[in-house]
Amino acid sequence: MGPATFSIVAADLATGEIGVAVASRFLSVGAVVPFVRAGAGAIATQAFANTAYGPQALELLAAGKSPDEIGATLIAGDPGLDERQFGIVAVDGRSATFTGSRCIDWAGGIAGDGFAAQGNCLAGAAVVDALAAAFRGSRGHLADRLVGALQAAEAKGGDKRGRQSAALVIEKPRGGYAGFNDRYVDLRVDDHANPIDELGRLLEMHKLYFFAAAPEDLVDVDTDVGTQIVAELKRIGVLGPDAFAYDAAARAALVGFMHVENLENRVRDDGKIDRQTLGYLRSAPAKLQV
């Protein structure tokens, strides 16, 4: 049996993000199911997965073909089509889902504006219903919405064989590290007792290290905040004991700390700091060597 699983493929038209979230009682499901290309679209290929569908679908999406057209192309002449399942979403929100007639019960999918949700070997139709409803009813980062959809589906029984792995892949133009590529999120839990929860934990870390701070999380480094920063920098040993003001030396110490702690994406030069960085600084161990 291939990766009997549940997945959701989705696009965020406002940000240009396109991604896939998937979970299964199958080792390293992220190595098989998700295929994503910024500016084009994404596909999840599962059940008795034909991984050749992935690159082929991405090329057709990049050429402007619709998900319905691509789906028809993929299964044409495929002798194993009755055991295939996939969901496709274009970056403009068009979508399609396909479930072969011999996929293991329960199997099916829902395609809607901006998403395709599907699964096979599931506890029941409520699993896919939950995927779709959770995505439709959510707001915020696409990454959070996709993981939230997996969590909602798992709560309805998920893969009826149990749990093992999960993955989340999102691309957007220049969304990768320092803008050098398009890979915005690429997280995999290959073998874990609670893979979706672990995926959620990794996502929170990823957001801290790689996402830009949200405007609502920014605070001015005024006298009070500056005094707090200086006190924490002194506590952890990266600023001398005689420092009292948030001056150029204190800012340099803060920036040095942030680079050592892999928070360089959150360094700012506008007199502000984000709450997540402040929280990280307050929880940092004393005597940190920079």
Q: What is the pLDDT of residues 250-277, one digit of tens each?
A: 999 999 999 999 999 999 999 999 999 9
Reported as a single tens digit per residue, the pLDDT across 113-159 is 999 999 999 999 999 999 999 999 999 999 999 999 999 999 999 99
**How does DSSP assign 176-223, residue by residue?**
SGGGSSSEEEEEEE-S-SSHHHHHHHHHHHHHHHHSPPPGGGEEE--H
More confident residue, 178 or 60: 60
What are the structural domains, with CATH classification, of the chain?
Answer: 5-210 (3.60.20.10), 216-283 (no CATH)
Average pLDDT over residues 72-85: 96
**Nearest in space to 220 (alpha carbons), one of 162, 275, 174:** 275
- Does the pLDDT value for residue 289 go beyond 70? no
Whether residue 106 is preceded by a cis peptide bond, meaning omega within 30 degrees of 0, is yes
End-to-end CA distance of the chain: give it in Å, rounded: 51
Measured CA to CA, the distance from residue 113 to residue 116 in angstroms comes to 8
Q: Report the distance separating Cα 91 and Cα 114, nearest Å.
A: 8
What mean pLDDT, rounded, does the chain reach? Answer: 95
